[in-house]
Amino acid sequence: AQTVTQSQPEMSVQEAETVTLSCTYDTSESDYYLFWYKQPPSRQMILVIRQEAYKQQNATENRFSVNFQKAAKSFSLKISDSQLGDAAMYFCAYRSENTGNQFYFGTGTSLTVIP
Amino acid sequence: EAGVAQSPRYKIIEKRQSVAFWCNPISGHATLYWYQQILGQGPKLLIQFQNNGVVDDSQLPKDRFSAERLKGVDSTLKIQPAKLEDSAVYLCASSLDYRALEQFFGPGTRLTVL
């Protein structure tokens, strides 16, 4: 099974500031996809951003961007201009067609936004 | 577009009792997933359906867990008998098909086994 590691159980950020959440993964595949999901207290997982491994350009979605380092197997999420609504659990996930398209999730990072 | 629906939202049972969870995926989504999310962990796939067929159930504890997706739409996940370690949130997700890059998740069912 693939391993996805999130080494920061908890993070906090001041409102309007920038925060980076870390994720590393272990794979021998060359083609795969990486995701960041947000899970607010309501428990509904929401896709934040996706990165295809074959793309060198880092994905960006409004205030969310990633730093994808394929050789280092690192996939961090940067949240700019943090808002109170960004407070949630954030999960990094890996998916590959060679592993049956199954999603492998990390253990999550709990983000607190301080007003 | 309606999202993935799950019921109940909460369930408390005693160990050795039975429990069932229901999921209604997004209309037109062929692939349905059941995940178990234990407190402090990420979701772990239990079973994946493509229409009404099972694609992957390798991590489903088949001695006590069962799932079905009759007619390829709604799905039911059952635990019989429940153990204390089954306490978790059970998430249902769906996607257009098994190759689709995005899964859409329901709100989950929080199960507490006493």
Residue A91, chain B, CB below 8 Å: the answer is: yes
- CA of B80 to nearest chain A CA: how many angstroms apart? 25
Residue A45, chain B, CB below 8 Å: the answer is: yes
Chain A residue closest to B56 (CA)?
A100
SS3 content of chain B, % helix, strand, coil (to 5): 5, 50, 45
> What does each C-alpha distance from A34 to A17, A99, B20 come to in angstroms?
25, 14, 32
Asked if A95's CB is within 8 angstroms of B40's CB, the reply is: no
Collect all residues of chain B within an 8 Å Cβ-Cβ radius of residue A107.
40-42
Chain A residue closest to B39 (CA)?
A107
What lies within 8 Å, CB to CB, of B95 at 6+ separation is: B29, B30, B31, B33, B102, B103, B104
Confidence of residue B1 (pLDDT cuts 50, 70, 90): low
Residue B59 has pLDDT above 80, yes or no: yes
Please state, in angstroms and rounded to a whole number, the distance separating the CA atoms of residues A39 and A110: 9
Chain B residue closest to A93 (CA)?
B42
Collect all residues of chain A within an 8 Å Cβ-Cβ radius of residue B105.
37, 44-46
Q: What is the pLDDT along chain A (115 residues), one digit of tens a residue?
A: 578 999 999 999 999 999 999 999 999 888 899 999 999 987 789 999 999 999 989 999 999 999 999 999 999 999 999 999 999 999 999 998 777 678 899 999 999 999 9
